[in-house]
Amino acid sequence: MVAMKFWRGVWVGCTHAQLMLPQAYDALETVFEKWKPKVIGHLGDYIDTTALRAGADGSRDEGEDIGLDLEAGFDFLNWYFVRKASVKVLTLGNHDIRPERFLGHPNAMKRYLAEAMQERAKSTFKRLG
C-alpha cells in the first residue's frame, strides 16, 4: 500500500478584476490565515476584458476601461501570489486570452496594445514565479 501525502491548497477562479467584491478579499485572507496552504492556484479569468469580447463592437461594453481592468487583475494576482506556498499555479481562462485575438490584427493600434498587454502579463507572471 502506498502512503499518500496531502497538501492543503486554496484555489480560486473567475475573480474578473474590478468585478471582485471587497468581501471576497476578506474571506480569502481568513482562509489563508486559518488554512496556511502549501499550494495556491488561480483557475483563470483574473481579468474581465469586457471591451474585448467578441460582441462588444458597437455596444456599451466596447467602452469598458481596459486599463482599470488590467490593473485590478494584476493587483489581485500580486496580492494573491505573494503568499508563501510550495506550489503556485496560474491557469488562463477565456477572458485572460481575449487580447491574443488582436495580436495579428491589421489595425496597428489594436495589434500594438494587444502585444503590450501580453508583455505586461508575461512580465507579471515571471515576477510572481
Render pLDDT for 23-70 as a digit per residue (tens, 0 to 9): 999 999 999 999 999 999 999 999 999 999 999 999 999 999 999 999
3-state secondary structure the chain: CCCCCCCCEEEECCCCHHHCCHHHHHHHHHHHHHHCCCEEEECCCCCCCHHHCCCCCCCHHHHCCHHHHHHHHHHHHHHHHCCCCCEEEECCCCCCCHHHHHCCCCCHHHHHHHHHHHHHHHHHHHHHC
Residues 74-111: tens digit of each pLDDT: 999 999 999 989 999 999 999 999 999 999 999 999 99
pTM of the model as a whole: 0.89
* Average predicted confidence (pLDDT) for the chain: 94
